Amino acid sequence: MIYLDNSATTRPFMEVVDSYTKASLTFFGNPSSLHRMGTEAEQLLLKTKEQIAGILGISSSEIIYTSGGTEGNNLAIKGTAYQLKGRGTHLITTAVEHASTIEAFRSLEAEGFKVTYLKPGPTGQVTAEQVKAALTNQTILVSIIHVNNETGIIMPVEGIGELLKGYPKVRFHIDHVQGATKVPLRLAHGLIDLVTFSSHKFHGLKGTGFIYKKDGLRLTPLFHGGGQEGALRSGTENVAGAVATAKALRMAMELYEERHDKLLHLRNQLLEGLSEIEGVVINTPKELAAPHIVNFSIPKMKPEVIIQALSKRDIHVSTKSACSTKRSEPSHVLLAMGVGKERANSAIRLSLSYLTTEDEVSKALQELQHLIPELLEVVK
């Protein structure tokens, strides 16, 4: 089996699964309970935050556990909008965000907020100059995806953060779900207020994640109840999930140090091999992209045909975001980049992990080099 859909989800590390199982059986007490079992669970939860904080160079008080990227983006975006609506009602994001961000902003628009969706250039990037031009005296939030989940294009978020230093009343949120453990993002320099992480993108477990929230920053909670997670995320804490998240993050960051260059080499191998296949158009610019995502189109072919044909050969790839892949619409990311409907309708995404091997990439390319010309002959 060759798995090249790691942007949808990664295979959890066995050590992560083991740590989750051990914590589930040993520290099953409710962290809010006053007895010894509850206290031990609470202490373990706090320890996981200290471990994550040490890896990211932040304070443990700046970590809020969530169920993953969708909840994290919603909490950061809606929590900010509701908290600061007395100050202003204008929000800025891009036209190439993940569905969880786009839909959160659309929901806020229905409630009366005004949203500017910045359109990228043909490279897929927006610029700090575009953000500056969109700012008004009513702007309270800028939210930008770091690594695009469909194309792998890296946004210049640190430059945007530098710009926003001059606008202290505007909060800056980054969707770092695809970038975490693949593309560095400095949190300690104070330019970013909120960052979303999702564990299953770096070999953790589905249903777990966290946001970074700068100390002193206030959000309006989306859930109400017992006031867990600093009164921002009520509900009994998932202690075992937190243990697994901390373990996965540590292991994935160690692999970043060991295998980042190898991952970049594999991505370049894919780009070079695909560029030699007649009928293929590359949508991922090599110089602006993360080391693990390659997006390409075959304009005369439905992507489902390629995906199913590869799946029969036990090679697994995808079209666009897994959250949107069952919808028949063309990729909103590629449309926003101006590539045209036919190309946006025929996009395929290959995504790697630190566990992907050179042999797997070579075999996948060999299959594509034979399969695509054959299928193009059929649709002529």
Average pLDDT of the chain is 95
If you average pLDDT over residues 33-38, what whole number do you get? 92
pLDDT at 91 over 90: yes
Confidence of residue 103 (pLDDT cuts 50, 70, 90): very high
The pLDDT of 115-135, averaged and rounded, is 97
Identify the active-site residue in 323, 355, 371, 376: 323
Arithmetic mean of pLDDT, 214-228: 95
pLDDT confidence tier of residue 323, bands split at 50, 70 and 90: low
Indicate whether 342 pLDDT > 80: yes
Average pLDDT over residues 168-195: 96
The arithmetic mean of pLDDT across residues 131-147, rounded, is 98
Q: Is the pLDDT of residue 70 over 60?
A: yes
- Domains in the chain: ranges and CATH: 2-8+257-372 (3.90.1150.10), 14-250 (3.40.640.10)
pLDDT at 327: 58
Dump pLDDT digits (tens) for 298-311: 998 999 999 999 99
pLDDT band at 96; cut points 50, 70, 90: very high
pLDDT over 80 (residue 351):
yes
Residue 321 banded pLDDT, cuts 50, 70, 90: low
Give the pLDDT mean for 288-292. 97
pLDDT at 190 over 90: no
Tokens of 24: 């589930």
Tens of pLDDT, residue by residue over 55-65, are 999 999 999 99
Per the annotation, the verdict on 323 as an active-site residue is yes
Mean pLDDT to the nearest integer, 24-50: 95
Report residue 266's pLDDT band, with 50, 70 and 90 as the boundaries. very high
